[in-house]
Amino acid sequence: MCITKTIDLKKEYFGSFDDKRIYLYTLKAGFITLQVMNYGATITAIEMPDRRKQVNNIVAGFSSFDEYMKPHPYMGAVIGRFSNRITGGQFNLSGNNYQLSINDFPNHLHGGINGFDKKVWQPVAETIGDDHCSLSLTTFSNDGEEGYPGNLNVTVVFTLTNCNEIEIAYKASTDKATPLSLTNHSYFNLSGFVKPTIKDHELTINSTYYNEKNENNTSTGKLLMCAGTPHDFRQAKKIGSDIGQLHRDMGYDHNHVIDGFGQGVQPVAKLTDDFSGRVLEVQSDMPGVQVYTSNWWDGSLTGSQGVPYIKHGAIALETQQLPDAPNHAAFPDSILRPGDDFSSRTIYKFSLIK
């Protein structure tokens, strides 16, 4: 449903990092307020009303920049160069062996020690249109950074529409072949953390197969059928229904292969919270989505909602290339080459139960 309301985009000083100014951008359209900061190209808040017209922030984040300087699990950040894990931090490309930084022993995770989540992105454009507003941010990754080959230019554009959609569009180019998998790491609790966990949220995933993992939490290269397992979300079910069966991971931390990938933007997942009436639909042109239910949250972090973030307090739906793709020739190609322009879109569509 599209709503005719005033489109607005403002920025304010939020802090500094390495003598660079950090800004918090507030975008408003429809019934959504989106906040993004240029450190890590991070979504810090998504505010929307529930069925009772109570407005809440439905993503995990913090109210001050100083809190983002403390250790936290990638709250709302753009992840790169490569999301998820690369086995041993190693891959071979065009006959050359590459060793990436190890930051999740024994693997490379989410771009390494200083990935894109720790960069100060440069503002490129702020746009206000008749039915949308958008923010463009860009960053540069040097040849050899975290062990990756190639000088890489990356742009991310956040667009909020009066149809209550947030589109995240990624673009990139390189001068050497390099693995690339960009995603956003927002954690959603559609109750606005009024309910401390997402176990009662209903989830649907447009996926017949998921990636098998080994003892080091990386892909074996095999795809397993979701049917007959706790990972079967082809029909809507509560997240808490089978989560107790996943003892090793203490919850969901698995990548699903999206049915119909390769045909442009496809339905990925649908998340519904009956308590608040809020609904999130995710669409993307990426082949996979990592489903992570905050299994290691322990209440030690308190977010902008003023409540501790506890185990299973939120869910991340990370659209991405398949995990460890550079080491599995049968997976969709995740290598960006010189002369090619990478482009990808993920859309979050928000609504209320009718």
Q: Rounded CA gap, 168 and 186, in Å?
A: 12
Q: Rounded CA gap, 44 and 170, in Å?
A: 18
Annotated active-site residue 12? The verdict is no
Distances (CA, A) of 321 to 68, 116, 338: 26, 16, 19
Q: Rounded CA gap, 33 and 30, in Å?
A: 8
Nearest to 178 by CA among 210, 142, 202, 126: 142
Query: Is the Cβ–Cβ distance between 254 and 231 less than 8 Å?
Result: yes
Annotated active-site residue 231? The verdict is no
User: In the chain, how long is the greatest CA-to-CA distance?
Assistant: 59
Q: Rounded CA gap, 276 and 215, in Å?
A: 38
Question: Tokens 């890590």 sit at which residue?
Answer: 40
Catalytic residue selected from 110, 185, 201, 328 = 185
Q: Rounded CA gap, 223 and 213, in Å?
A: 9
Catalytic residue selected from 145, 165, 202, 318 = 318
Q: Rounded CA gap, 345 and 264, in Å?
A: 9
Q: Active-site residue numbers?
A: 185, 318
